[in-house]
Structure 1
């Protein structure tokens, strides 16, 4: 029987440049799991930290960027890991970053791009990632009244 775990976070960084929302996507090294694919920032939750703390730490470790605002994306990414026979539930966050933010990528990644919504969803391989980006764009990044409800 598969076990259920919640030990990772998914985080989507966005910025606003000239009134246009852009998302950061990072390209994994070819020699690692899911190599040569475009992703958002994912990472493990340490035993002594909350999911939000893990999201902030992963952002800073993998991009060198400090978010100006964190949001819950009101979404739990879920998937089945066949290697470990595990159902994974990953809290999903959005992070607003400065318009001039320039990532300093960790060794896990070989490239990055700031993309509009259409290009971002075109680069991401998993439907859950594409759904999360669209949701973050509509509810949080566009800055409507609902965005305040998701502020952390």
Structure 2
């Protein structure tokens, strides 16, 4: 019987320059899982770490960008992974970054693009990540009234 894991977070990084742009990353060809795939930031939750702390850390580790704001979203992505016979549930976060900051990719990725919503969606493969871009655009970037309810207070973030 498959096990259920809650060990992964996903993070949609965006910047306003002056129009919204979303960051998509291309996995390195040396990666064992999904080499060459275009994706959003994703990574593991370390022991003792909260999911939102992992989201902040993974954004910094994979891109060198420190979020200036981090948001919960009403999304969790789920996927089955056959090598571990597990269903993985991953909360999705949104992270706004300074448009002047420069990316420093980790070795997990070989390329990146800042794209408008439709272009980012067309480059991504997974339906959950495509939906995340759309929902984050509509509920956070467009300053929907729910935006401030979803913002994680800065004092809760590890810098």
Q: TM-score, normalised by structure 2?
A: 0.92
In the TM superposition, what is the alpha-carbon distance from 1:146 to its structure 2 partner? 1.7
Please list every run of 5 or more consecutive structure 1 residues that lacks an aligned counterpart in the other structure: none
Q: How far, CA to CA, are the matches of 1:30 and 1:137 in structure 2?
A: 30
Q: How far, CA to CA, are the matches of 2:68 and 2:74 in structure 1?
A: 19
* Equivalence for 2:149: 149
User: Aligned pair 1:21/2:9, yes or no?
Assistant: no
In the TM superposition, what is the alpha-carbon distance from 1:30 to its structure 2 partner? 1.4
Count of matched residue pairs:
151
Root mean square deviation, CA, Å: 0.8
* Equivalence for 1:65: 65
In the TM superposition, what is the alpha-carbon distance from 1:90 to its structure 2 partner? 0.3
Q: How far, CA to CA, are the matches of 1:80 and 1:68 in structure 2?
A: 32
Cα deviations by residue, 1:1-46 (Å, 9 ceiling, x for unpaired): 111110010000001012x110001111112111111111000000
* Equivalence for 1:132: 132
Please list every run of 5 or more consecutive structure 2 residues that lacks an aligned counterpart in the other structure: 153-159
* Equivalence for 2:5: 5
